[in-house]
Amino acid sequence: MSGKPRDAAKPAANAAWGGRFAGGPAEIMQRINVSIDFDKRLFAQDIAGSLAHCAMLVRQNILSAEDGDAIARGLAQIRAEIEAGRFPFRAEHEDIHLNIEARLAELIGPAAGRLHTARSRNDQVATDFRLWVRDALDRLERQMQGLQAALIAKAERHADTIMPGFTHLQVAQPVTFGHHLLAYVEMLGRDRSRFGDCRRRLNECPLGAAALAGTSFPIDRHATAAALGFDRPAANSLDAVSDRDFALEFLAAAAICGTHLSRFAEEVVIWTSEPYRFIRLSDAFTTGSSIMPQKRNPDAAELVRAKPGRLLGALTQLLTVMKGLPLAYSKDMQEDKLPVFDAADTLELALAATAGMVGDLEPDAAAMRRVAASGFSTATDLADWLVRVLGLPFREAHRLTGALVKRAETLGLALADLPLAEMQKLEPRMTDAVFAVLTVEKSVASRSSFGGTAPANVAAAAAEAKRRFLREA
């Protein structure tokens, strides 16, 4: 028997490539080329784009009404099959586009081949991908707003709960827990704004740009753009099929949002640790140890803290893919979807976990106040009193307060417990009125400038945050 392989054993040429290829790809070529395992997530967007394209072709008399009806019915059946888990995804068809096209041919015959008139897989995938990212942005927008709502609700309940404010992770000045939580509401507001900007910029439709140069058919790109909810068709056919700025911008915004979530998660880890014990998380968001039965580990927070690594990696990955590509389309761009899919999944999970922790956590007001009163945290209040009451220049008041702190530290006393006589050794004009500003309660109450931590400010800021971010009057 001859050692020559039989023709029947050779892979068949892909029908989408037409008559140019007589043989099929090598097995390793097929493996590297196939994307159906991950781009099948685009099925809903691919079908939506095909339906809009089909309807436009019919209106423009490029496709008959009968063929258009058959295509629409076939696509509806395919969508139902995929949603029910009955669709036969096949690697030999490479991607979601050719899988759907092949199944459509099985269902309605030759009319299926007319659907691809006046379009290419290049503008088809660019459209699908934009639609998918737009849907992801809308989902994430709702999640970020939900997390803001959880933070605002908790901030309202703790507008006057005192905690230490830190710089360099050292006790700095007293603040309120509500004020601290509202800082993250502002961060998420900027995240939502970035996602909104991304959505506005991506909302141009590539469909009809074809492979790279447009088409000679009398298509109506404005009609397909409107049918798919885009603001307008993309203006340049080369840019339409080669642009992935929208994906990069999505990943950049996701990485920044993930960084904000990670900062909050790090604080949760610190706050639940034994030296602090500022907050408690229930069993729902903690785990135990396999060897130490006393342990309660903030694993949800630790995992959220780690997630930005994946988001930053996704951004770097796609930037690296895109940085050297000439116009218009290159197969490199098949690598655009996995990082975006992973980033969207990762951020959705991190947002859900963070919202759950915010709702679950309960602060220990006594523990937070105790630390807030340590470390001479009202020293700035003393300096401000010296300026306001004795008329000292702030730099002189700062120097004098530092000397008073040093004296209190030497005596092992808090500033509020330092005898007036000791203070008067350094500044004879001091009176016992100074003690009124040295409690943490007085300190936070005095910080009433716009954006400050005074409880009345925090309550008002929470109400304003509802109006700005939750659309509540």
Do 71 and 108 form a contact (C-beta atoms < 8 A)? yes
| CA 15, 16, 20, 21 torsion-angle sign | negative
Distance CA 447, CA 377 (A): 14
Token pair recorded at residue 456: 């009345």
- 343: Cβ–Cβ under 8 A, 6 or more apart, which residues? 250, 251, 254, 255, 310, 311, 314, 315
Choosing from 64, 289, 374, 448, the catalytic residue is 289
The question of whether 289 is a catalytic residue gets the answer yes
Distance CA 46, CA 131 (A): 9
| CA 25, 330, 343, 467 torsion-angle sign | negative
Do 276 and 270 form a contact (C-beta atoms < 8 A)? yes
Which helix (H) or strand (E) is 233 found in, with range?
strand 232-233
CB atoms within 10 A of CB 416: 17
Distance of CA 2 to CAs 5, 6, 239, Å?
8, 9, 52
Place of tokens 């601290």: 180
Q: DSSP label at 26? A: P
Written as one string, the DSSP assignment of 313-382 is HHHHHHHHHHTTPPSS--GGGGGGHHHHHHHHHHHHHHHHHHHHHHHH-EE-HHHHHHHHTSTTTTHHHH
Token pair recorded at residue 364: 């220990």
Q: DSSP label at 438? A: -
The question of whether 168 is a catalytic residue gets the answer yes
Token pair recorded at residue 212: 């790279």
CA angle 246, 248, 254 (to 5 degrees): 100
Choosing from 168, 216, 290, 449, the catalytic residue is 168
Which amino acid appears at position 62 of this protein? I
Token pair recorded at residue 425: 């050794």
Q: Which of 306, 256, 146, 155 is nearest to 298 (CA)?
A: 306
- Catalytic site residues? 168, 289
